[in-house]
Structure 1
Amino acid sequence: MPEHEWRALERAHAERADALTAAHRERKSRGERHPIEDFLFTYYTTTPGQLRRWHPGAGVALAGAGEERASWRHYRPEPAGDAVADAAVDLEEYFAKRSGTVDYVESLLERTLDRPPRFGCFGLHEWAMVYRMSPEHLRHRGLELRVGHEATDAVVDAHPIVCTHFDAYRFFTDAALPLNELTPTRESQRDLEQSGCLHAGMDVYKWAAKLGPIVPGAVLLDAFVLASEIREVDMRASPYEVSGFGLAAIPIETPEGKREYADLQRGFAARGDALRRQVLAAISVARAERPAEAEACAGRSD
């Protein structure tokens, strides 16, 4: 890719990332926290600085970037005669260190796409996380429960809980765990993950970030935007009072709230599936561009 072209893409990516993280960075500089918006920077490990780093994806050599990206993880300089060296992802080194992660993410996303989405959970995972919990033990101590503790427990008691996502289920209170239709585990995640789950939709961002430089920058930022929007809906449908943050509650304890939540779920599932396919496409490109001798060695080791 010519230098003028990738420089423009890199600059646009950094500007977009900076805009997406500006509020978080400003709060952090003041020592302030936001219980809703900061989630993507506390629950996930990608920092704003890492998010603004642009990658073209596998199989693309960046003209003149050899010296600049020599210190970037998984990059290698490529000789360019008398000119400044180019740079590209070193796929042999990348797969030597990250093949387990690639295999897991690929399998998880493929299985998620193959499984029918479910739209009947109504976000009750957040309610199960506070079920029969005393006020001083709430995860978000700065937020009040919208309908109070007794009414929150009554909503859980009155609805079937059908959470399929381990990283939501593991935060259920002890009293709520046996109420779930399933018992998700880390080992069963690939067997249960489905695109109707809001947490699975947020996790597309996590998987894109974990794959690092083989995922094009635009895909990573699109996944971040989706995760941000899902997080907002997740909290709007939760038992917490979020009106103080300019958000309208989605009262999933009512028929109208259930319909609104399921409609939003369907939109998120479609967008999440589109991003899953883009991440899988990035993996396919990386596998196709991987040196043949590295593939052969991997096959012998398997």
Structure 2
Amino acid sequence: MYQSHFGLREVPFSITPDTSFFFTSPHSQEALNTLLVAARSGEGFIKITGEVGTGKTLLCRKFIATLGDEFVTAYIPNPYLEPRTLMLALADELELTLDKDVDQHQLLKSITFRLMELAGQNKQVVLCLDEAQAIPLESLEALRLLTNLETEKRKLLQIVLFGQPELNMHLEQDSIRQLAQRITFHYHLGPLNKDDLEYYLAHRLRVAGFTGGRLFGRGAVSQLYAASGGIPRLINILAHKALMLAYGEGKQEVSKRHVTIAAQDTVATRSSRLPWLIGGLSLLVAACSVTWALTK
């Protein structure tokens, strides 16, 4: 839509977790380093927590992409599964072929054999579970039992839990205290601070092909931070809408007003005043569509 207007190869502020846009802020780089050190240590559970929209899924994918050939990774994006189904999902990630009606004993035996086979090839297996706050307690316990499998030197399976802060409350329950005790590394992923935001915007614009000067005015940056609280997903949503507004007006720079209108149109932001601006956004988005259609 607005890419050619601003000299971009692609949309810079998509909410899809594309690892080419991974921003190495102090927080995200420290979290990634924690994951890499923990994975190479070969011990137990690893936990990453963060509020909604702070970039846990992107961090997870970057972590998987950064691991070397000595690792085999399994990724389960939605672990709201009862124990047997979760084990079947793990077996699928490990490329196991199982009978349709495989019983629990044979399922666990097959997973164990596969883990031992990979260990014999000097491969470390890392299972990453996104949205881990949704895992049922009995499934967490099943995972803990799997991590009992080990050689004389290291675990056959490491598990990384990526979840919202509610995950901490689950782990405080007495019934899974043994699992909580096995979390050897953990990190809480926070929002960007105001200083990081300028670099974040410049980084994503550069990756998307922007070679010009300042695209977001200083007032726009301040308003982005005020409306988003530094949450990357909200920053992306607001920045994308603000670029659409600037494009619709034929402007080459995003202003504070553009961000204000975008924030008013976004339910999740801190802004909840000036309802009349919603109509303004709709009109400008319509203008974007007309301009785009005329320039095709």
Q: TM-score, normalised by structure 2?
A: 0.24
Which structure has the greater CA radius of gyration?
2
> Taking CA–CA contacts closer than 8 Å with sequence separation of 6 or more, which of the two structures ends up with the larger relative contact order?
2
More strand by proportion, 1 or 2?
Answer: 2
